[in-house]
Chain A
Amino acid sequence: MKKNIISLIAIFVVTITVSFGQAKKPTLMVVPSDVWCNQNGYMLSFDNQGTEVKVPDYKRAFQENAEVLQVISQINGMMAERGFPLKNMESAIKTLESNAAEDNMRSSKDTGSGVSESPIDALKKVAKADIIMQLTWTVNRTGPKKSITFNLQGLDAYTDKQIATATGTGAPSFSAEVPVLLSEAVLSHMDNFTSSLQTHFDDMFANGREIIVRIQKWDDWDGDLETEYGDDDEELGVIIEDWLADNAVKGRFNTTDMTEDMALFEQVRIPLFNEKGRAIDARRFVKGLSKMLKSEPYEIPNKLVMKGLGRATIILGGK
């Protein structure tokens, strides 16, 4: 009987661990860098009030350049082999376009109304990932000799930190074609890239996910971050800092900016799981702060907006 109970408890614990023991997996996507797009002529130019602004034309790059497809395909294959299949940027762009076309055509059967979309929703409709693998290569030529300088940077889309890297120049060759040299460059650099990515993940599991938290206020709210609350007349900005200190992993965060209207907290380390063992992201973490501000004695209505796994903003004063 005792043995049965112990076995049942063991099965229960294993089930809980398997069900809730997985952190939110970041998405990765290879994106050609601005430098590469510029050097290869894949840029769009427009006049922004007298200033010429250039933005990369990814769609044309994917339609016209076979080398970029070869490199991305090889990187995707090697990352998939490591259990991290990547988002394919070319497909993501096509999906966005087809979704936009479908949304434009869609109408309600009953009322004929279209799909609701705010200007912010429209802005958010871009190809995105949690970790951007920014890819640059240049072909160096000295007489008949050719070599490839390869640079692959892993960038956290929220903290803007470079979390992984692999860079270097390959051996020069008289006879090898550029695609062969590119293939060699990917083969020789991917292990270093995944190794530095592994270091980042190890740090994340040990010290929590690093996120950014922003606090803003609506124009029409009569309070601000310097408004004092409670018996000890503590400023709202300090109250928020105290909440972060209590809830961040090992109390780790930096107050980068704090004015009466806004606050910016960087390097906020959040746990990967909540007390129920469920994986959490920035939005779920900051939801606790949002709830605290809504409740007594503050009673501040607020809106919580998120951006992927690693960025959350609370706008004080209303929804």
Chain B
Amino acid sequence: MNKEIVKISIVMFIAFFTCTISAQRKKRIANKDTQEWRYDIECEGIAKQGSKLVKVWSYSKNPKFAIGQAMKNAVHGIIFKGYAGGGNGCTPFKPLARNVTAEKEHEAFFKSFFSDGGEFRKYVTAAADGNIAPGDRLKVSKREYKIGVVVNVATDQLRKRLESEGIVKALNAGF
């Protein structure tokens, strides 16, 4: 009887350990995708003053991780990519950092800013409670998903933070 319990415990432990490692590995892969900034960003509509409502398409092998990475990607997109206009009254948006080398020049700041649980989280919230519309979950290859998540980025606050770091120039700088 005791032997049975020990066997079951060992099997359960191995199963749990494997799952944890697998989850960590998937998260690492998702993080790697994010570090390469592999995503698309588009305007989703007119948000309230000082914010932008965007849909971020992130790529991941596990849809669960894509949602988490979408927030990081959204903030990155607002700072470095911008987006073209489109429907829903959207107008084109130029990235906050006008200097194309800003990311390299302030590498240390952005590394900590975009780390897991980093400061970027202050400037982004999930719209629609983080729910994903059925049409926004696309399987692009055998093992990869493209997930569209709608998030709200507090662009005014983000811009002020970057201005305080000297990464973005304020409109009234020099006057």
Q: Report yes or no: B98 in contact with A198, Cβ–Cβ below 8 A.
A: yes
Kindly identify, within residues 111 to 151 of chain B, every residue whose CB is under 8 Å from any CB belonging to chain A.
none
Contact with B along A53-94 (1 / 0, CB 8 A): 000000000000000000000000010011110000000000
Minimal beta-carbon separation of B87 from chain A (angstroms): 7
A170 interface neighbour in B89, B98, B156, B170, Cβ under 8 Å = B89
Please, which residue of chain A has its CB at the minimum distance from the CB of B172? Answer: A83
Kindly identify, within residues 12 to 32 of chain A, every residue whose CB is under 8 Å from any CB belonging to chain B.
21-26
Q: Report yes or no: B46 in contact with A82, Cβ–Cβ below 8 A.
A: no
Contact with B along A243-257 (1 / 0, CB 8 A): 000000000000000
A191: Cβ under 8 A from any B Cβ: yes
A140: Cβ under 8 A from any B Cβ: no
B88: Cβ under 8 A from any A Cβ: yes
Inside 8 A of B155's CB, which chain A residues have their CB?
A: 191
Minimal beta-carbon separation of A211 from chain B (angstroms): 17
A242: Cβ under 8 A from any B Cβ: no
Q: A25-B172, A187-B46, A198-B169 are in contact. Are A192 and B89 (CB under 8 A)?
A: no
Kindly identify, within residues 81 to 133 of chain A, every residue whose CB is under 8 Å from any CB belonging to chain B.
81-84
Inside 8 A of A82's CB, which chain B residues have their CB?
A: 170-172
Minimal beta-carbon separation of A35 from chain B (angstroms): 21
Kindly identify, within residues 65 to 95 of chain B, every residue whose CB is under 8 Å from any CB belonging to chain A.
85, 87-94
Minimal beta-carbon separation of A180 from chain B (angstroms): 10
Q: Report yes or no: A198 in contact with B171, Cβ–Cβ below 8 A.
A: yes
Contact with B along A184-207 (1 / 0, CB 8 A): 110111011011011001100100
Complex CA gap A205/B92 in Å reads 26
Complex CA gap A91/B101 in Å reads 44
Q: A171-B87, A171-B89 are in contact. Are A188 and B46 (CB under 8 A)?
A: yes
Minimal beta-carbon separation of B4 from chain A (angstroms): 66
Q: Report yes or no: A168 in contact with B85, Cβ–Cβ below 8 A.
A: yes
Kindly identify, within residues 186 to 233 of chain A, every residue whose CB is under 8 Å from any CB belonging to chain B.
187-189, 191-192, 194-195, 197-198, 201-202, 205
Complex CA gap A198/B99 in Å reads 13
Please, which residue of chain B has its CB at the minimum distance from the CB of A194? Answer: B171
Complex CA gap A185/B90 in Å reads 9
Minimal beta-carbon separation of B144 from chain A (angstroms): 33
Q: A187-B49, A198-B98 are in contact. Are A168 and B174 (CB under 8 A)?
A: no
Inside 8 A of A195's CB, which chain B residues have their CB?
A: 94
Interface residues of B: mostly helix, strand, loop or mixed?
loop
Complex CA gap A192/B90 in Å reads 11
B-to-A contact residues, CB < 8 Å: 46-50, 85, 87-94, 98, 155-156, 169-172, 174-175
Q: Report yes or no: A188 in contact with B91, Cβ–Cβ below 8 A.
A: yes
* Interface residue tally for chain A (C-beta within 8 Å): 29
Inside 8 A of A188's CB, which chain B residues have their CB?
A: 46, 89-91
Inside 8 A of A166's CB, which chain B residues have their CB?
A: 91
Q: Report yes or no: B174 in contact with A201, Cβ–Cβ below 8 A.
A: yes
Complex CA gap A166/B92 in Å reads 10
Inside 8 A of A23's CB, which chain B residues have their CB?
A: 174-175
Inside 8 A of B94's CB, which chain A residues have their CB?
A: 191-192, 195
Minimal beta-carbon separation of A163 from chain B (angstroms): 13
Q: Report yes or no: B175 in contact with A25, Cβ–Cβ below 8 A.
A: yes
Inside 8 A of A84's CB, which chain B residues have their CB?
A: 171-172
Please, which residue of chain A has its CB at the minimum distance from the CB of B168? Answer: A198
Inside 8 A of B87's CB, which chain A residues have their CB?
A: 171
Q: A78-B49, A81-B156, A82-B170 are in contact. Are A189 and B175 (CB under 8 A)?
A: no
Most central of B92, B93, B172 by chain A CB within 10 Å: B172
Complex CA gap A26/B94 in Å reads 24
Inside 8 A of B170's CB, which chain A residues have their CB?
A: 82-83
Minimal beta-carbon separation of B163 from chain A (angstroms): 9
Most central of A82, A188, A198, A205 by chain B CB within 10 Å: A188
Inside 8 A of A185's CB, which chain B residues have their CB?
A: 89
Inside 8 A of B172's CB, which chain A residues have their CB?
A: 25, 82-84
Complex CA gap A83/B92 in Å reads 23
